[in-house]
Amino acid sequence: MFDSAFDVLGIGNAIVDVLVQTEDEFLTDNNLAKGTMALVSADDQRVLYDKSGQAIESSGGSAANTLAGIAALGGRAAFAGKVKDDQLGRVFQHDIRAAGVTYTTSTAADGDPTATCLVLITPDGERTMQTYLGACVTFAPADLDLEQVQGASVTYLEGYLWDPDAAREAFFKAAEAAHAAGRKVALSLSDPFCVDRHRAGFRDFIAEHVDILFANEDEIMSLYQDQGGSFEDAAAAIQGKVEVAALTRSEKGSVVVTADDMISVPAATVEHVIDSTGAGDAYAAGFLAAYTQGHDLKAAAILGGLMAALIIQQIGARPTASVQHLLSDIAN
């Protein structure tokens, strides 16, 4: 579909996840809002970690997970995000490259350590995240490789990285460079609380710079909370503001919104939810992998749903089984 060096370049937080299976009572006892992401200090995260059970370390970060999924599907993927030159930073670099993703961002020699996310997984598979952002928030326009931006069919921006001023400047610079080269810009809203903090800024950026928007039901309703209060109202509000909005609704599947259509796609079959970590990231991976290979929007949403279904039936946010066949399956 596109003449490019990469199908997708992702820009986002470079994070190492610490996955812990726990009970709802643990969340209640520690005043944690189930199913959300909160930013915490290193000390507060350490206190929770010390209280929790056995953990599994796994490289994460929302956009990084999406790019790992695209690479697993056979796509040409690149990622930009900041880690420190420390042990966890080296783990992140190894894992993202081992997943088949090009990663060339320079490491921070000093300052805060590599970011970590304590992911608390309850028996229903829901995840509650306590994130220490560390080095990843130091990502700045100087960390962009503009040749990668101009050479990627789609530049995919992670909403979580909108908080720091320098990173937000990098988003604008990347979007302008991508569009100057005739490329597409995609944005994930990432989290409803993230939208709450930056609603006006997101709306302006979307209207001026975004071609493809990814959001779940809560996020799109937060973005357009003044438009009636329902998912249908929010979907109608985004219509025409971007070329494509891919809106996920968990077990209700997804809705792809264009200027003149709304395409509903049912959720893929799931036998048992183990861990919902990365479901939205996996959906974006499937959608963008299909989109950049020239499949239509319904097929892209179907592949997104298949990838999300696969991810929530395992521990961890990146595919552990072969998925390349899924891309060819949707064409048949």
State mean pLDDT over 229-241. Answer: 95
Over residues 201-219, the mean pLDDT reads 97
Q: Which pLDDT does position 332 carry in this prediction?
A: 64
| pLDDT of 331 | 67
| Residue 277 pLDDT grade (very low, low, confident, very high; cuts 50, 70, 90) | confident
* Strand bridging mode 244-248 / 254-258: antiparallel
* pLDDT given at position 207: 96
Counts of helices then strands in the chain (DSSP H, E): 12, 14
The arithmetic mean of pLDDT across residues 118-122, rounded, is 92
Average pLDDT value for the chain: 93
Label the pairing between strands 15-21 and 55-60: antiparallel
Q: Find the DSSP H helices in the chain.
A: 24-29, 42-51, 62-72, 87-98, 146-151, 165-180, 192-209, 217-223, 231-238, 279-292, 297-311, 324-329
CA angle 2, 168, 75 (to 5 degrees): 25
What token pair was written down for 203? 């709306």
pLDDT over 90 at 171, yes or no = yes
Domain architecture of the chain: domains with CATH: 6-12+60-112+137-329 (3.40.1190.20)
Percent of the chain exceeding pLDDT 90 equals 78
Q: What percent of the chain has pLDDT over 70?
A: 99
**Paired strand residues for 55:** 20
Write the DSSP string, 186-249. Answer: EEE---HHHHHHHHHHHHHHHHHH-SEEEEEHHHHHHHTTTTTSSHHHHHHHHBTTBSEEEEE-
**Statement: residue 209 has pLDDT above 90:** yes
Where is average pLDDT lowest: 34-43, 81-90, 217-226? 34-43
One-letter amino acid at 85 equals: D
Q: Is the pLDDT of residue 294 over 90?
A: yes
Least confident segment among 124-133, 221-230, 253-262, 315-324: 315-324
The pair of structure tokens assigned to 280 is: 């939205």
Residue predicted with more confidence, 317 or 190: 190
Confidence band, pLDDT 50/70/90 cuts, at residue 257 = very high
Name the CA radius of gyration of the chain, rounded.
18
- What local confidence, expressed as pLDDT, does residue 2 receive? 60
pLDDT tops 70 at residue 250:
yes
